[in-house]
Structure 1
Amino acid sequence: MHKEITSINNSFIKEIVQLQSKSRVRKNTGRFVIEGKREISLAIKGNYKVLQLLYCDEIYTDSNLDDFQTEIIKISKEVYQKIAQRDSTEGIIAIAASKNFSLTSLNLTSKNPLILVAEAPEKPGNIGALLRTADAAHVDAVLIANPKTDMFNPNIIRSSVGCVFTNQIATGTTAEIITYLKENNITIYCAALTASKSYEKVDYSEASAIVVGTEATGLSEEWLNNSTQNIIIPMQGQIDSLNVSVSAAILIFEAKRQRKFA
């Protein structure tokens, strides 16, 4: 018999609403919300600990809930609609324990790692798209420099379709990440408009970090001053930049092509 919650005024439900909307609450409690069966499954595969699983039996029809081996809570449709931010999450929501995204937690097993670095990405949608690209290319790590939002923002989880759980991720300041890359002998390739080589004329077969900045301001001087080689995607139209996730995908998959997708 599962525990049941039918009131939107339940204190636990109010806490979930706070976890969904406030980064500070996620940070202070060390917990976050996952919506949807696929996302929850990816989190479990990524060794995230699911603390509670909530389901609405009017929507969720699978019978394998006990396989999750955690506290199972049945909720009414009214409660589900109160805490769900999406209509397409199959009536199932999990509360999970956060992970540490420090640089010291990274485990690079490849001798020639390929790393995607993004400096100060602001839009959760762009971060999610970067994580999807990183997963598709199976890069060794994604590093977020000077993050503007926490990685457990529900919009990042949604836009990444759960790839926040499938990638090795670390966050830190620009200075910390540059130090980490240099200490690990990883060549730094910065996407920039000046002093750049066309991206396909650079050799990414050795340990490489491809660094992208925001569309509005590009990369900081700190990155440009520490770049081994700036790279550029030649433009043939009237504009001089692409969406950051599109640029990252082009650059990362060129590196993968050179490595014969190894």
Structure 2
Amino acid sequence: MAGQITGAEAVLAALDADEPITMVLVDRDKNTAAIRTKCQQRGIPVEEGSTNDLWRMSADGHVDALALVGRVPQATLEQAFERGGTVWFFDGVTYSTNLGFAIRTAEVAGADAVVLNVMKTHEERRTIRRSSMRADRFLPVVYDSTEAILSAARTHNFRIITVEDVGTHQPWEEDLTGDVLLVVGAEKEGISQTVLDAADACVLLPMDGFVPSYNLQVAVSVVAVEALRQRNNTSLEL
């Protein structure tokens, strides 16, 4: 799970202490030369953002710099699964704005990577970035085929948990901790039969209305928050 070091002084201290920082975000309008120099010396990528950008992402309000720890924001498909943790698979989701919202939710809830099986044009990827508040800067978003994704999950002993209306129990009745591939499908088509057949478990969200399904963002949000709750509880018990 990713963590955040907040504020220029704290980031500088962490850099001096050789903490495992994987990215630093700085306010482009502030003097952060010392941070930039230390990051360059250690080969740590630096991203620039506006004052408002940093304020929205900071856990402590207005700051000049933020550091990402606990997650490497770039990965191949193989690396994403080698590292373990919580990986999201948005199976067959084509609408770029929906993908952006889903990626943002996954990142906020501490996912380690997102994998997609629908190739996107350059313009579509720009739409995804905008919709996600550029959350793709902070976790790997990997494009590959369904077969490759499932193979990588199996190779690295991930449990595959799908979210679909054919599920047999609710998310809070399933163990969502450890190395898990959480799968949500497109709103119209749902999760492909290939992925459903490969799943270790299938959960469903409780519904009690006339409309027979939630939208994609709701499904992702409910399961993402439940997975985070379970991980936090597990950490407290250790």
The question of a shared fold, defined as TM-score above 0.5 by the shorter chain, is answered with yes
Amino acid at match of 2:171: Y
Alpha-carbon distance in 1 for matches of 2:136, 2:164: 26
* Rounded Cα–Cα distance in structure 1 between residues aligned with 2:154 and 2:123: 25
TM-score w.r.t. structure 1 length? 0.59
**Structure 1 counterpart SS, 2:135:** coil
Q: Deviations over 1:92-147 (max 9, x none)?
A: xxxxxxx986413436445xx11111012212211111111121111111111233
CA distance 1:255–1:186, shift in 2 (3 Å): same
Shift in Å, 1:205? 2.2
Larger gyration radius, structure 1 or structure 2: 1
Runs (4+) of structure 1 exceeding 4 A deviation are: 63-69, 148-152
> 1:243 and 2:226 equivalent?
no
The aligned counterpart of 2:44 is: none
Q: Give the letter for the 1:116 counterpart.
A: W
Residue in 1 aligned with 2:147? Answer: 175
1:114 aligns with 2:93: no
Query: Which residue in the other structure is 1:202 paired with?
Result: 174
What TM-score do you get using the length of structure 2 for normalisation?
0.64
Matching of residue 104 in structure 1 with residue 107 in structure 2: no
Name the CA distance, whole Å, in 2 between partners of 1:245 and 1:208. Answer: 19
Identity in percent:
23
More helix by proportion, 1 or 2? Answer: 2
Secondary structure of 2:103's match?
Answer: helix
Q: 2 CA distance for matches of 1:213 and 1:134?
A: 14
Is the Cα–Cα contact under 8 Å of residues 131 and 167 in structure 1 kept in the other structure? no
* One-letter amino acid of the structure 2 residue matched with residue 197 of structure 1: H
Does the aligned pair in 1 maintain the 2:81–2:153 contact within 8 Å? no
Q: Secondary structure at the match of 1:260?
A: helix
**2: CA distance between counterparts of 1:131 and 1:137?**
10
Count how many residue pairs are aligned between Structure 1 and Structure 2: 177
Greater shift in the superposed pair: 176-185 or 242-251? 242-251
1:255 aligns with 2:227: yes
Structure 2: distance between partners of 1:63 and 1:46: 18
